Structure 1
Amino acid sequence: MANSSSVKKTFAHDGKSKRIPVDLTPKGGGFAHRWIRKFAILVSLLAAMVVIGQPWLGSRVDEEIHSQLLAAMKKAMPSAIVNVDSVVRRGNNGIVVKGLEVLLPIDASELGSDVRSFNRLPIIEIEHLELLGKTDYGTLLTEAPVFSEVKVVGGKVRIVRSPEGELNLETLFGGLANSGVMNGDIPTVRLSEVEVLLADARQLGPQELSLVLADGVLVEKSREQVPHGSSTSTENSGLLEVRLQFETELASNLQIQGAISMDDHPSLLTARVDGLLLDEKLLRYLPVDVLDSFPAGMGVRGEAQLALQLRTEVKRDESGASEWTYDWAAAGVLSNGFYSDRRLPSPITDISGTVTWQGNKIRCERLNGRLANSPLTGSIEILDLSSTPAIKASLHADNLRVDETFAQGLTGNGKLESVSRVLDLYSPRGTMGLWITYDSTGLQPKTDIVLDVQDMDVTYAKFPYPFHKVSGRIQVSNKDVEIQQVEAYTHGQRFEVQGSLKDPFEFPTGWLQITADGPVPLDTELVQALNEKTRKTIDVLRPTGLVWLKRLRHEYSGDKYNPKREIDIEVRSGTVSYEQFPYPIHRVEGEIYLRSGIWTFEEFSGYKGNSYIQLDGSLTPLADGDTKLNLELTGTDVDLDEELRTAFSVKNGNVTDLWDQLQPQGALDHLTMKIEKYKSREKPSLYIRGKKWVPEESFATSRVQINPVWFPYSVDELTGEFIIQDGHVQLLDVRGRHDETEFVFDAVSHFNPDSGWDLAIEHLSIDRLAFDKDLLNALPDSLAKGLKSLDLVGQLQLSGNLKFARPTDGPLMANWDLRIGAAGVALTCGPRFNGVYGAILLNGISDNRGFRSKAWLDIDSMMWGNEQFTKLSGPVWVDSKQLLVGRWASVAQSKFEAGNQPQNSEVVRQPQRDAQSMLARTAGGLLGVDLQLQFVNQLRIESGVEGAVSRSADRFLLQASLSGADLRYLARQQEIRERTDGRITGAVRLRGEVGDRSTWSGEGRVRLADADIYELPLMVALLSNLGGNKERGVFSSSEVDFRVQSERFIMDRVALEGDAVSLYGDGWMSFDKEINMDFYSLVGRQRIAIPFINQVVAEASKGLLRIDVAGSLEKPQVNGTAFPELDGTMERILEDLNTRIARPFPNGQQPIIQLR
């Protein structure tokens, strides 16, 4: 090759110098050969110039030689300063020069500077220079002396490289080759004890590198050479044979030998270095800029054996200009090597190998070493040293111990930076095989790395879940990574990692995939390994159990932050509990998928106790950065337990309030829950649908029962369907039982933001409803009190609508629109009614003002005692204070419909005549009833046979009328066997306390028409006292005016009138049918007014008869007195009959039928 290679570096000199290239290439023919030739020429010139053409005169010989020596050296080296201590002739055999010193002038900039400069020291110092030859005076005077040998003993030669990269010897010997003073042969030069000092102006250490030339010989020899263009003639050409033996502390042996051509023919030098020590001492002699290029903290030790060969030749072009060409060849062996720097986790030891250098190629082969007890092998080849070096290198490590420290050591290590990143990405801990190849011979450098993982623990940075016993191969080619069937184990399961990524650290493209052979525990360690977004998704369900990562795949298209992710996860034997509906589901089996950024939960199933539950859902990212979670949970045989209530309570307080109000128990056949939750919204949207099937179709383990707090009436065996959505509750076709009572209804409930709620029960149908203790205890006190007073026995059928509402911090309110049907019930409404068949329509309300309701009775049939009532209809009013029937109820209803509360008075005023009474058919006639029943909030204590008893003190006012009743039917009802016939019309007004006949009082009238009562015991007795006239129809009409007082019917007027005879009288009859009556007979009818009484009595006195009746109604005792005197009693009767005609009711009140 024509040019030497150049490895260029840059440095700054005193902060001001320009950046100058540093040439570290061996100087070949331009340095070694030229220097040795010029040194030999210099010695020859000194020998020749000392004596040439000089007259020698005895005593002045030494001075002349000294002067000539200085002049000759000044001429040969004009830029040098030469000093010589002495020059003496050594007899006739030679000349001895002592203290020869050659140095270059010091630059002015270095004067007075404290900076260390090797240029201040002499370049050449020779202690003893001896020229051997004939030096007798005769020879000196007559001819030029010839020196056959030059000996140099002791001294120093300093070779210094300046900051500009120039060698001082080049400056010193610059003009020596052109001096032209050299004639003749070069004497043999022998050198001994000469110290060669090598230094660089920028070296780290203060001392020069010392090479002691222990023995050296330069001998000129001739050679034959056939000249060009001639085949016969020869020409002698000189060769300078070189043999140099050095001693140095850095090597055990250094030899240089060869032949240097004294003309343009090729020259050849070889060198051998044995036992070269590579350590810190050697580094101290290198320039600082070279040391700066080494890695920080680099440490080197070792021993080398080197052999070098240098061939040089001078080429001349057509113009005659010469150019040196040279070729290097070197070989060496390295042993016991040691290398360390801060990038390596531990030093490389036991380094050995071979090095060859030929031309522009350096090859390092069979390199061996150990890194942390791991064997290393490798090779390096450097090509094209003359221009831009190209490198081919390989490294192989077996059982290389890798951990975090090892990865950190490679950080910032140029070509190995990608290895560092891979190791940092996977955080390996264990052993592996490593193959690294580097090739820069192509257009782009190429780095190939193969990692054979053998037994390693790995934690992938993007999925920091520890894996053990990792094995497989990872290939890195420049910025491309291939992961080939890497296997790993965790929790006893095998995982496989594969991938192919290009430029994975900047703009990755490719894919990475992880699969597992089976499930692993879904513990905190696994959840924390997921990325934040995935972890938040998983945390939503708070899962535990076993999960099988069937596939985790990342596909990159240039954006390392947004890969296309696909995840397939199977859950086994798990537990999930949605954080905002924490209802734990156990033994969960299901699959989770991630596609296009959407998580889906499919075919999830599990158990909660005896409940079988299925779950599906999705988590979808939205364009505005929000996310939407959809979950649908379907369960069968779902227990209505405390855990389900707690799940509702987290984000659905209204549902919890309803739960607490209803207090459900049991299990549902089917439950569906749909949850929709936006990340940006605090509360989720909740849709719940539950079903309870009829027992024949149900497979639930228990029945459903509710016991509402606000209506503590338990309903069991519930079936039907309910829907809960965003504060609204809907019940559909709900059926239930309470003992024998059956319920069917729909319902709608709303929960208000202010914690209030309302409930509307629609299409209510209750069959066999009993007014038992459970129902009365559940009703509001005011309503229960009124219904309890009815003492209702039997079962009712109820249908209609109910509404309940509880405002915030307010009492429960209710209203109703109901139809109550009765089939044979018994109740007390003043009197006791039995066998009630029919219906009542109710419409009322209960609020903070109490309970009130209007009603319409439509009774087909009922019994009062033994009396049957049919086609009973009319209005009823009931509230917390009273029960009103008939026209009084109509008054209250009109006020209620007008929005006015009925007045709380003891007596309701007499209604208008157009108001309707309670009407009924009975005994063949028409019965009209108006009733007031005042509820008194107290009990009356009474003493009886069984001791003191308490009863209600409720008060009543009864107004009734009967028209056209069948007297025969009524007699038969009273078990009267005698023949009776006729029609009866009457009216009564009665007041008092319910159940206490002693408090009853009132008045009334009874009329008989077409009556046939002559076989009644009382009539038989009366007629027998009238002379035995027993003809029927003796009385054509009968009237009785009576009062009720002290448990008696006080008959103020009794009139039995006939055409022939009439009976008039008064008396009383007890409630037990005891009688005491007085009658007077008159002839004909007595229809005259009071002014004519005396006349009538006077005219008919002969026919008068007095009859006294006592005993009982069934067994009357009759006594008659004929022609009595008109005593005071008779006069009183007649006067009373006169005054009582058309007497009104007390207090100005009007009866339903006017009593006369």
Structure 2
Amino acid sequence: YRLDRTVGTVILNNKQLTMHLTGQAGGNPVQVNGQMQLTDAGSIGHIEVRGREMPIDERLLTAMPTRGAEILERLHASGTFNFVFRQDRSPKFPKGHFNSLDIRLLDCTLKDVRFPYPLTNVQGSVVMSGDNWTLTGITGRNDTGIVECSGRLDRRSGEQGVLTLELAGSEVVLDQELRDALPVGIRRFWDDLAPRGKADFVATVKHTVGRQKTEVVLDATPHANTVSIEPVWFPYRLEKLQGKLTWNNGLLQLGGWRGVHARTTVSTEGNCRFLPDGSWHVSLSHLSADRFRADHELLRALPDGLQEVLSTVGPNGLLSIDGSLDIYSTNVAQEESKKGLCAASWDCHLDVEQGCFDIGVALNNVHGGLSLRGSTDGQRWSANGEVDLDSAIWQGIQLTQIRGPILMDQSGVRFGAMTVSDGMKPRRLSAKVAGGKIEVDGMASSSGLGGFTVAASLVDADLERIACDSRGTPHRFKGRVFGSAEISGTRAGTHSLRGHGQLRLRDADVYELPLVVAMLKMLRVKAPDRSAFGSSFIQFRVAGPHAYLDEIELAGDAISLVGNGEVGFDGDVQMTFRSIMGDAEEQLPAMKRMLGGASGQFLLLHVDGSLDSPELSTEAFPTLAAAIQKLQSQRLEKSKSRRTASRPLQPGVTSQGGL
């Protein structure tokens, strides 16, 4: 390192050498002082060189040993420094001398080639002692971030040594500049994660010089609730992130991570692997989110197919989720239109509190859970699971212990026996209702008008509880309800409904029903007991907003009624009954028709109006009335014929006969 315009003294006195020199380097003074005793074994003493505010420039790099120059070039170092170089000379040293160097960085900038994150206002101490180097108190800044560094180069650890750096950063801004400094795989993950805010970190970098091998261990934590993320594969913004991120030679581990979205808290643990081709794999375990709402913002974050199904099902209420999630990058280079497409698999449990669903029938006040396992390749997806709801309300009727299988994919939702595949035993979706049991199979399509099909059966339900729940007021109806139905339609409206079924009532006490009271009065049953009709049976068809009652039986000990009619979903009725003496259930169908035909010759009951306010009318002797009407019609025809035949008679000629 050449010094120009050097002045001073060099004194040799009886083999004692003393020097005091001052030269110029880079426009700054450099002092050289030394004292040396010359002996036959060699020189003994020291030489010390001091400089202040020296520039890091090409002259310095040229003068440095090759290894040191390469390090400075790789760091893109610039700025000024103070230094003290000392060489102690003695035959006792292996090389006859021992070098030491103390460098004080004043105002430098660094930008490592392998990690091009620029640091400014770099200060600190770099000390060389023999072949070993030590870094202490080095600090630098980038925006509001402060990075501290210490380390050492230990030649004793190997032939060419091991460089170990301890780094610590605070309030490091997660910006584009930091992103551009990361390896390719991490940059891709960064782009998909879209982090914002500031972070603190500590890192250990271990570089084996001879093998050119670098190991990095980094622990990072969000700074003061400033960090947020919004993954492109799940654009649901999470803020105030907390937790620990550990990078260990290609493996990124997440520990105790927690974030919030509005009032929702999301927490998880997991890891992420980065492969040389730029692809990555995120594995999240213990993923949980508490008390979030399935609003439009959450639905918009889901895969397209899942959005369509959940939009038609219309979940609402407070939801919680717990489980695991694995996400994979689908390819390294994606078209702009396919940005954010990722493959994924999941195994999670969804809890619902005060929720609502619409799967062809509206379920309200849903409480319970749903287990789901599924996967997606970024374009198509499927999921299967198990329904485990504690309770739900349908048309005011409470359902409990709702259990059964469910299957979802792009085509829609299937549940119960419709989820079965080859080799599997079919299971129905079942629930407890009013002391009885209901079993359901069905499907709801996500395409077109959202067609659905439901097949249900009801066994041994309590009529009184059903009546109280559905109407919201207490009733004294008694009986056990049995039935089955198959209904299909679309979400376009009730006009699309089609189906059929039957309903049976046993051990009944329905005397207080307005319709029953009115019919008993019409039949002149003045003081019937409460079991006037102990059982009933209805065979029905559904077409649009109407139920056509093809067969109706109201059976009692003394009198029974059979008939048919129709009921509108608005409660309007049109029915016709005929009476049978005795219990209709104990009579054979042929006997029922015969006795019904006989009694029907005397009285028919017509029911109109509504179920709550029925209007009844009777038709006495319907067969006799029809005969009289026919006779009157025949007499009218004969009378017309006679008048027509009498017109040709001549005036003055009279008929001899008369009627």
Q: TM-score, normalised by structure 1?
A: 0.50
Q: 2:286 corresponds to which residue? A: 763
Contact in 1 for aligned 2:8/2:19 (Cα 8 Å): no
Return the alpha-carbon distance in structure 2 between the equivalents of residues 637 and 1031 of structure 1: 85
Give matches, 1:441-480, under 5 Å: 463-464=1-2, 466=3, 468=5, 470-475=7-12
Q: 2:657 corresponds to which residue? A: none
Of 376, 379, 387, the match for 1:846: 376
Q: Which structure ranks higher in relative contact order (CA pairs < 8 Å, sequence separation ≥ 6)?
A: 2
- For the structure 1 residues 965 and 1088, does the alpha-carbon distance in structure 2 shift closer, same or farther, using more than 3 Å as the test? closer
Return the alpha-carbon distance in structure 2 between the equivalents of residues 630 and 1127 of structure 1: 113
- For the structure 1 residues 1097 and 966, does the alpha-carbon distance in structure 2 shift closer, same or farther, using more than 3 Å as the test? closer
Is the counterpart of residue 1061 in structure 1 residue 559 in structure 2?
yes
Q: 1:667 corresponds to which residue? A: 198
Structure 1 residue 919, shift from structure 2 partner: 1.7
Structure 1 residue 501, shift from structure 2 partner: 6.8
Give matches, 1:20-31, under 5 Å: none
Structure 1 residue 608, shift from structure 2 partner: 2.0
Return the alpha-carbon distance in structure 2 between the equivalents of residues 825 and 1097 of structure 1: 50
Tell me the amino acid that sits aligned with residue 1096 of structure 1: L
Match of 1:1035, SS state, is coil
Contact in 1 for aligned 2:128/2:134 (Cα 8 Å): yes
- For the structure 1 residues 1016 and 773, does the alpha-carbon distance in structure 2 shift closer, same or farther, using more than 3 Å as the test? same
Q: 2:221 corresponds to which residue? A: 691
Is the counterpart of residue 934 in structure 1 residue 445 in structure 2?
yes
Match of 1:862, SS state, is strand
Return the alpha-carbon distance in structure 1 between the equivalents of residues 373 and 130 of structure 2: 61
- For the structure 1 residues 774 and 531, does the alpha-carbon distance in structure 2 shift closer, same or farther, using more than 3 Å as the test? same
State the structure with more CA Rg.
1
Of 341, 344, 360, the match for 1:814: 344
Give matches, 1:244-643, under 5 Å: 463-464=1-2, 466=3, 468=5, 470-475=7-12, 482-488=17-23, 495-500=31-36, 502=38, 509-516=43-50, 518-553=52-87, 555=89, 557=91, 563-621=97-155, 626-643=160-177
- For the structure 1 residues 1045 and 713, does the alpha-carbon distance in structure 2 shift closer, same or farther, using more than 3 Å as the test? same
Q: 1:371 corresponds to which residue? A: none
Contact in 1 for aligned 2:16/2:36 (Cα 8 Å): yes
Q: 2:545 corresponds to which residue? A: 1047
Q: 1:790 corresponds to which residue? A: 313
- For the structure 1 residues 780 and 1116, does the alpha-carbon distance in structure 2 shift closer, same or farther, using more than 3 Å as the test? same
Match of 1:750, SS state, is strand
Contact in 2 for aligned 1:1078/1:1108 (Cα 8 Å): yes
Q: 1:983 corresponds to which residue? A: 480
Return the alpha-carbon distance in structure 1 between the equivalents of residues 51 and 210 of structure 2: 38
Is the counterpart of residue 996 in structure 1 residue 493 in structure 2?
yes
Of stretches 767-776 and 525-534 in structure 1, the one that deviates more from structure 2 is 525-534
Structure 1 residue 637, shift from structure 2 partner: 1.3
Return the alpha-carbon distance in structure 1 between the equivalents of residues 533 and 506 of structure 2: 10
Match of 1:1125, SS state, is helix
Cα deviation 1:77-100 (Å, max 9, x = unaligned):
xxxxxxxxxxxxxxxxxxxxxxxx
Contact in 1 for aligned 2:580/2:595 (Cα 8 Å): no
Match of 1:583, SS state, is coil
Match of 2:511, SS state, is coil
Of stretches 1034-1043 and 990-999 in structure 1, the one that deviates more from structure 2 is 990-999
Match of 2:573, SS state, is strand
Q: 1:955 corresponds to which residue? A: 451
Structure 1 residue 609, shift from structure 2 partner: 1.9
Tell me the amino acid that sits aligned with residue 595 of structure 2: V
Return the alpha-carbon distance in structure 2 between the equivalents of residues 641 and 474 of structure 1: 60
Q: Which runs of 5+ in 1 are unaligned?
A: 1-462, 899-911, 939-952, 1129-1156
Tell me the amino acid that sits aligned with residue 1045 of structure 1: A
Return the alpha-carbon distance in structure 2 between the equivalents of residues 922 and 1118 of structure 1: 33
Of 1031, 1034, 1041, the match for 2:529: 1031
Return the alpha-carbon distance in structure 1 between the equivalents of residues 92 and 589 of structure 2: 130
Structure 1 residue 1119, shift from structure 2 partner: 0.5
Match of 1:581, SS state, is coil
Structure 1 residue 822, shift from structure 2 partner: 1.1
Same amino acid, percent of matched pairs: 28
Give matches, 1:96-245, under 5 Å: none
Return the alpha-carbon distance in structure 2 between the equivalents of residues 537 and 499 of structure 1: 32
Return the alpha-carbon distance in structure 2 between the equivalents of residues 495 and 612 of structure 1: 34
Return the alpha-carbon distance in structure 2 between the equivalents of residues 991 and 1126 of structure 1: 44
Cα deviation 1:929-949 (Å, max 9, x = unaligned):
21211221x3xxxxxxxxxxx
- For the structure 1 residues 1075 and 511, does the alpha-carbon distance in structure 2 shift closer, same or farther, using more than 3 Å as the test? farther
Return the alpha-carbon distance in structure 2 between the equivalents of residues 779 and 544 of structure 1: 49
Return the alpha-carbon distance in structure 2 between the equivalents of residues 672 and 543 of structure 1: 22
Contact in 2 for aligned 1:472/1:487 (Cα 8 Å): no
Structure 1 residue 655, shift from structure 2 partner: 1.8
Cα deviation 1:511-542 (Å, max 9, x = unaligned):
54324374434344444433333323433433
- For the structure 1 residues 703 and 1127, does the alpha-carbon distance in structure 2 shift closer, same or farther, using more than 3 Å as the test? farther
Of stretches 994-1003 and 614-623 in structure 1, the one that deviates more from structure 2 is 614-623
Of 401, 411, 415, the match for 1:885: 415
Is the counterpart of residue 917 in structure 1 residue 415 in structure 2?
no
Match of 2:75, SS state, is coil
Tell me the amino acid that sits aligned with residue 518 of structure 2: A
Cα deviation 1:536-574 (Å, max 9, x = unaligned):
343343333331213332546499988532111111233
- For the structure 1 residues 496 and 1091, does the alpha-carbon distance in structure 2 shift closer, same or farther, using more than 3 Å as the test? same
Return the alpha-carbon distance in structure 2 between the equivalents of residues 861 and 1039 of structure 1: 29
Structure 1 residue 1095, shift from structure 2 partner: 5.0
Return the alpha-carbon distance in structure 2 between the equivalents of residues 709 and 789 of structure 1: 24
Match of 1:789, SS state, is helix
Return the alpha-carbon distance in structure 1 between the equivalents of residues 185 and 133 of structure 2: 30
- For the structure 1 residues 535 and 1075, does the alpha-carbon distance in structure 2 shift closer, same or farther, using more than 3 Å as the test? same
Tell me the amino acid that sits aligned with residue 561 of structure 2: L
Q: 1:41 corresponds to which residue? A: none
Match of 1:582, SS state, is coil
Q: 1:367 corresponds to which residue? A: none
- For the structure 1 residues 780 and 474, does the alpha-carbon distance in structure 2 shift closer, same or farther, using more than 3 Å as the test? farther
Contact in 2 for aligned 1:745/1:761 (Cα 8 Å): yes
Q: 1:1071 corresponds to which residue? A: 569
Tell me the amino acid that sits aligned with residue 1106 of structure 1: L
Q: 1:970 corresponds to which residue? A: 466
Of 244, 262, 268, the match for 1:739: 262
Match of 1:930, SS state, is strand
Return the alpha-carbon distance in structure 1 between the equivalents of residues 62 and 240 of structure 2: 48
Match of 1:998, SS state, is helix
Of 367, 374, 379, the match for 1:837: 367
- For the structure 1 residues 985 and 679, does the alpha-carbon distance in structure 2 shift closer, same or farther, using more than 3 Å as the test? same
Q: 1:306 corresponds to which residue? A: none
Return the alpha-carbon distance in structure 2 between the equivalents of residues 710 and 841 of structure 1: 22
Return the alpha-carbon distance in structure 2 between the equivalents of residues 616 and 726 of structure 1: 20
* Poorly superposed stretches of 4+, deviation over 6 Å: 558-562
Contact in 2 for aligned 1:963/1:984 (Cα 8 Å): yes
Q: 2:633 corresponds to which residue? A: none
Contact in 2 for aligned 1:637/1:667 (Cα 8 Å): yes
- For the structure 1 residues 498 and 611, does the alpha-carbon distance in structure 2 shift closer, same or farther, using more than 3 Å as the test? same
- For the structure 1 residues 1038 and 597, does the alpha-carbon distance in structure 2 shift closer, same or farther, using more than 3 Å as the test? same
- For the structure 1 residues 483 and 786, does the alpha-carbon distance in structure 2 shift closer, same or farther, using more than 3 Å as the test? farther
Tell me the amino acid that sits aligned with residue 983 of structure 1: R
Structure 1 residue 1050, shift from structure 2 partner: 0.8
Number of residue pairs the alignment of both structures matches: 615
Return the alpha-carbon distance in structure 2 between the equivalents of residues 1091 and 866 of structure 1: 40
Contact in 1 for aligned 2:416/2:442 (Cα 8 Å): yes
